[in-house]
A and B are shown apart, each in its own frame.
Chain A
Amino acid sequence: MEKHKVLIANRGEIAMRITRACQKLGLDFVCVYTAEDSHSRHVHLARELGGGLYRVSSYHDANELMAVADASFATAVHPGYGFFAEDFRFARRVTQRERGLIFIGPSWRVIRELGDKINTKRLARSLGVPTVPGSDKPIYDEMEAEHVAQSLYDFQLSSGISQPTIMVKASAGGGGMGIEEVQDIGMFRSVYRRIRNYALRNFKDEGVLIEQRIRDFNHLEVQIVSDRSGKNPVHFGTRNCSIQSTGHQKRVEVAPGFAPAEINYSFDAAGVLAEITEHSLALARKVRYDNVGTWEWIVTRDGRPFLMEVNTRIQVENGVSGIIAGIREQEGVDIIAEQIRVGLGEPLGYTQADVSLSGVGIEYRIIAEDPAAGFAPWVGRIEKFAWKQESWLEMYTQVPVNEPYDIPTEFDPNLALGIVWGKDMEEAKMRGVAFLDSLVLEGADSSGNPLKSNISFLRAKTADILKF
């Protein structure tokens, strides 16, 4: 492999994992940090391993990152997750600037194509990949809108749904703005007009999407990896991310997505898993997907999957897929290292036949929050943080274990990711509980109240994993 230097444009545990992956691949790297993060372990690690280290004013400032890249003679940029990970303009800028860099992630056209939900839905439909029933284009005409809404209503009734619900959302919106649900079809017209006018005022586009509102589902993901040729994507199995906080933030992720051998489902679970991986690979081939990505699905209680969106980045929970996967004789896959390797242009070097999946992995997101109070974040100083090392446990954290740590409030709240592996579900559950029991997380906030964490919530939820 050519000698590359990777700018790690992120923070916290993902920056640490990317740093380690670079070290493993024998690549130079350079890290950035902001003033609030100066005590984060990713900074310590960068110092320890002798990489470049630059202080920036913000992880969001592309100009500053480019300046760091030039000053440190970096040749590639890894965006991690969040920040610039799914920003096609950043990817385009990185590759098209005068001193071009490699963007470790899909090419910007792919990010743009799959970043648009309508476009993704249309691509999926063009391949016969199942998507949520409803419109796949912005609707501008009131007659058409009413027609679609009525059809959706009839359709849900005839599929045995007693309380049909229709979602009306501004096609140019996002982040939960301009979305409303309609349960009474008689109310549709007024809701439609409200959303349309809202969209016209706020997004200068009165297009509206009308879809079925699906309730009672499991959230599944398919992990895809492909090299720059875009022709031969492989998958590393599925994940089930259905255990979430009340704000629909993931807390526990399990690989694989279902356990048909151990749990009875009302539908053909193995068939659904096979179906969604096949569909995901088909779409990846169609868009010539050329890096690591996650295909997000929802599966209803009667076993019908619908593609929701594609995350064109490495995800937090990639490790849980990595821990159950293997390539040829090697056990466990470092998906981040794979991402960097193919990102820099190396061919994948293996096919789906070389990939094996074994056992069950559980990832816990350990967060200082109060599940009893609507998962309200807790802010303060961590005094003590320890756990028992095990061969079946991987722990990723930016929190230092030998000194107190003030939780920064500017970033996402993950303190640590604990990933356990068991040869079957029972063993994994047992080990998961054992891990959570061994975990010590203590601290106090500014007024002396003890630290609150979600550990007991995670322990309670362990019993229910993979149950629909």
Chain B
Amino acid sequence: MIDVEKKLHRLNDRLAYIKDIFAGKQNEAVRMLQVRLDDFQARVAEMSAQERLSAISAMEELFTFMEQKLDEQLSPMDKVRIVRHPQRICLRDILENVYDNYTEIGGQDDKSIDPSMLIARAYITRRRGKALHNQPVMVIGQETGHGDEFRNGGSVKPWGNAKALQYMKVAEIENIPVHTFVFTPGSYPIEDYPGAAQQIARNLYEMAGLKVPIVAVFSEGGSGGAEAIGLADRRLMLSHGYYSVISPEGAAAIEGRLRDGTRAAPELIERCALQLKMTAQDNLRHGLIDQVVEEPPLGAKPYHYEFFQSLRNELMRATDEVVLTTRSFALLRGAISQPHRPKSLENYNAENFVTRWSLSTKARDRLVVLRQKKFRNLSNGRWIDPRTSFDLMLTKIQATSTDLLNLFRHDLWGRRKKQLGYAVEEMDAGARMLLHRIFNPFFSFTRELFGTKPRAKIAEELTTLSSWEEDGSKNGTWSYISSKAKEDRAVTCPNAAKYGCLDLWAPDLFGEFAGVCTHCGYHFPMGYKWFMYNVFDPGSIREFNQEIEATNPLNWDGFDAKLEQAKQKTGLKSGCITFEASINNTRMCVALLAASFRGGSVGVAEGEKFLSAIERAQRKRLPVLAYVHGTAGIRIQEGTNGVIQMPRCTIGVRRYIDAGGLYLVVYDTNSYAGPVASFLGCSPYQFAIRSTNLGFAGRGVIKETTGLDIPPDYHDAEKALSRGHIQGIWDRRDIRANLQQALVTMGGRNLYYK
């Protein structure tokens, strides 16, 4: 009897869970289950023991059958409800059931520095015959618990991500693989010391070059929070998880243009969830993850032990694969890392084969190269490039010949020349010293005799006109004047009440003053063209890749029209303009994110243009400037294709910096979210024009997700400076001079002019 009661209780639980997942949607199957269960419960007291047992197992079978059936009907939003359900497996369940032993690092429940980020040193023990092989792993992941309040739903604060980064580096030193588990709806979007964006960017930058295998498992992968630990060599995804640029609710709020505090209609959220293409199957189809780990119907729960077994197997297999691909010689086991592995290895059980997970020095380097290559190829082709294959081939030939030329010019000839130069310098200095010691007495004598100039000559020097080449920008003459400077009107400075600034005449303000209030220094926003045509040497701008066009890879409803509208309005084909230009005859490669093109949001086309610019600069030994006229974040309508630009471009930056370049970032207006939390925020040299607002999420999102009311200056440049996100605040009128200064004083060994 007790046994039947227990089982009945479990069945009721299962039904409640099903109801939660389908969230009040009218479903025939659910109703049927309810009726049958009620009926059973009504009759159970009258049944004999034997009847009870057979009836309850019939009920269980029915449930299992129906669950399988319902599983096929799951909509993306249902899956979101699955991963957010308190009964969903959490990282601790995985640690208990997948790994053989583990020690949690820094975890005393809510006493940890950030309980939503869990770190553990774990063991996987493989058995071959009687021999035991303990393989240590660093496990890092967001912990939601089963609805634990203090876990914050897996929303990690910046210092939680910092903790994750710290232990990734520990793993690097210990030469053990990292397993990351992504269970987060998104990062906790606060700006602290450090800010959310700042820390995620650091994580991405470090992971881009981390010299140990990383395997990531995605259950709930929301935007930046997921990327903070998601840049991995193998990315597995649980079949009922989601991995997306933004939560469906967030997407709906943007789509519906909702103000703070109002909630989107459930239908709209449902539609957005569908359009975001965020399920495991969608992501696998788009090539953004490597493999799906099948879960039991309606999602894995802590008592699904077979699931943990298969997850363990997949994790070991994935780690083995990563390790084996880095080996120059892997013998027969190499076959398991082939993309089309032989049939005989389909059911390969990783338990029985031992692969050492520690890597040799060479293998570690190869690992990083492979990882970088892998991400470079993600989301390939999801932009429009009208150039014919012949054109592209020409470009490729051109690139290769530049490579060859530069190899000769910089690596072969340039290095020899430098060495020769040093040698000559040394000899010259020695010779001078010798001459000085021999002739010094005579020199001082001759100086006294002939050293002074005649008086008339001095007088002439001091009183007649000297030659002088004046730089025009000093006295407020700009080569490009904003069209705002043509209106005859007075503009009120927003600080007028505070500092008593007088109204400024628009032609003065937007012309000579470059949009800066002369009294208080307030910076009015200016168009990106002002920057383009006033900062660089006139006529030095050579745009490239302008053919690459933003598109709608997920066929998002109505987005084609919006894109077309943006293209019409701005005359641009994407939000990123890439060009080569020079400042005082020093060439540089510039990637500009224009706020006027859909808020400067970054999609695949923008990411691709940015990456090509970085790669071009690396080839030609040019410094790189990323000028962020403004960016609203990742373009949500491109879904995970968009969010993948974060690790993808960061890897490009990492490669460029490692090769010895100079990567400068200058922010101009509002710069938020994904790009700032990755390829922009990872630069060691970031500067902001005074008009900048810099951060991870805007006011509305912070209020929505954390309930905090932020002060008005929360995101301004000074705050960003005090957080250490940026390294300086510039006046718009000084951009050119400051860049010039930066080119002289900063940069690595591999710049053509150094």
Cα A384 to Cα B452 with chains together (Å): 67
Inter-chain contacts of A98 with B (CB < 8 A): 488
* From B461, B466, B490, B505, contact of A137 by CB (8 A): B466
Tell me if A125 is interfacial: C-beta within 8 Å of chain B: yes
Q: Is the CB of A97 within 8 A of B462?
A: no
Q: Does A89 contact B (CB under 8 A)?
A: yes
Contact in complex: B507, A96 (CB < 8 Å): yes
Encode A69-111 as 1/0 by CB contact (under 8 A) with B: 0000000000000000000010011001110000000000000
Check if B468 sits within 8 Å of A122, measured CB to CB: yes
Contacting residue for A133 out of B453, B455, B459, B505, CB 8 A: B459
Pair B488/A97 contact, Cβ less than 8 Å: yes
What are the residues of chain A within 8 A of B737 when measuring CB–CB?
204
A133–B462 touching, CB < 8 Å:
yes
Task: Tell me whether B734 and A133 are in contact (CB under 8 A).
Answer: no
Q: Which residues on the A side are within 8 Å of B488 (C-beta)?
A: 97-98
Note all chain B residues with C-beta closer than 8 A to A151: 453, 458, 461-462
Which B-chain residue is minimally distant from A93 (CB atoms)? B505
Q: Which residues 156-207 of A sit at the B interface, judged by CB distance below 8 A?
A: 158, 204-205
B563 CB → nearest A CB, Å: 38
CB of B48 within 8 Å of the partner chain: no
The chain B residue with its CB closest to the CB of A205 is: B474
B452 close to A154 (CB less than 8 A)? yes
Minimum CB–CB distance for B377 against chain A, Å:
46
B148 contacts partner chain A, Cβ-Cβ < 8 Å: no
Q: Mark contacts of B499-542 with chain A using CB atoms, 8 A cut-off: 1 yes-contact digit, 0 otherwise.
A: 00011010110001000000000000000000000000000000
Interface residue from A63, A137, A158, A212 paired with B502 (Cβ < 8 Å): A63
Chain B: interface residue total (CB-CB under 8 A):
25
Q: Is A126 an interface residue (CB 8 A)?
A: yes
Q: A61 interface residue, CB < 8 Å from B?
A: yes
- Interface flag for B463 (CB, 8 Å): yes
* Residue pair B462, A125 in contact (C-beta under 8 Å): no
Please tell me if B465 contacts chain A, counting CB pairs below 8 Å: yes
B465 touches A122 (CB 8 A): yes
Using CB atoms, name the residue of chain B closest to A89.
B508
Q: Of A62, A131, A134, A204, which is within 8 A of B505 by CB?
A: A62
A213 CB to closest chain B CB (Å) equals 13
Q: Are A137 and B508 in contact (CB under 8 A)?
A: no
Find out whether the CB atom of A63 lies under 8 angstroms from the CB atom of B490: yes
What distance in Å separates the Cβ of A255 from its nearest Cβ neighbour in chain B? 29
Alpha-carbon distance A50/B488, docked complex (angstroms): 31
Chain A residues with Cβ below 8 Å from B463 are 125, 130-131, 133
CB under 8 Å from chain A, chain B span 434-469: 452-453, 455, 458-459, 461-466, 468
Task: From A126, A158, A212, give the contact of B465 (CB < 8 A).
Answer: A126
- Contact flag A204-B462 (CB < 8 Å), given A89-B508, A98-B488, A154-B452: no
Q: Which of B471-485 contact A (CB under 8 A)?
A: 474-475
B731 on the A face (CB < 8 A): yes
A134 — which chain B residues lie within 8 A by C-beta? 462
Which residues on A sit within 8 Å (CB–CB) of B512? 89
Q: How far is the CB of B85 from chain A (nearest CB, A)?
A: 59
User: Is A155 positioned at the interface, with any CB of B under 8 Å from its CB?
Assistant: yes
- Give the complex CA separation of A416 and B512 in angstroms: 39
User: Within 8 Å CB of B455, what residues of A?
Assistant: 154-155, 158
Give chain A interface residues in 49-72, CB to chain B under 8 Å. Answer: 60-63, 66
Q: Which A residues are in CB contact (< 8 Å) with B464?
A: 125
User: Nearest-CB distance from B741 to chain A (Å)?
Assistant: 10
Given contacts A61-B502, A63-B490, A136-B466, contact A93 B459 (CB under 8 A): no
Contact residues of A between 320 and 368, Cβ < 8 Å to B:
none
Distance to closest chain A CB from B312 (angstroms): 62
B42–chain A nearest beta-carbon distance, Å: 84
A30 close to B (CB within 8 Å): no
A428 CB–B CB distance under 8 Å: no
Q: Which residue of A lies closest to B467 (CB)?
A: A137
- Chain A residues with CB under 8 A of B468: 122, 136-137
CB-defined interface of A142-156 with B at 8 Å, one 1/0 digit per residue? 000000100110110
Does A141 sit at the interface, judged by CB under 8 A?
no
Q: Which residues on the A side are within 8 Å of B507 (C-beta)?
A: 93, 96
Residue of A nearest to B731 (CB): A204
A148 contact set on B, CB distance < 8 A: 462
Interface centre among A98, A148, A155 (most CB of B within 10 A): A155
Does chain B have a CB within 8 A of A229?
no
Q: Mark B556-567, 1 if CB is under 8 A from A, else 0.
A: 000000000000
Inter-chain pairs besides A61-B503, A155-B462, 4 sampled, C-beta below 8 Å: A89-B512, A130-B463, A133-B459, A133-B463
Question: Could you show 26 A-B contacts with beta carbons less than 8 Å apart?
Answer: A61-B502, A62-B502, A63-B490, A63-B502, A63-B503, A66-B490, A93-B505, A93-B507, A96-B507, A97-B488, A98-B488, A122-B465, A133-B459, A133-B462, A133-B463, A134-B462, A135-B466, A136-B465, A137-B466, A151-B453, A151-B461, A152-B462, A154-B452, A154-B453, A155-B458, A158-B458
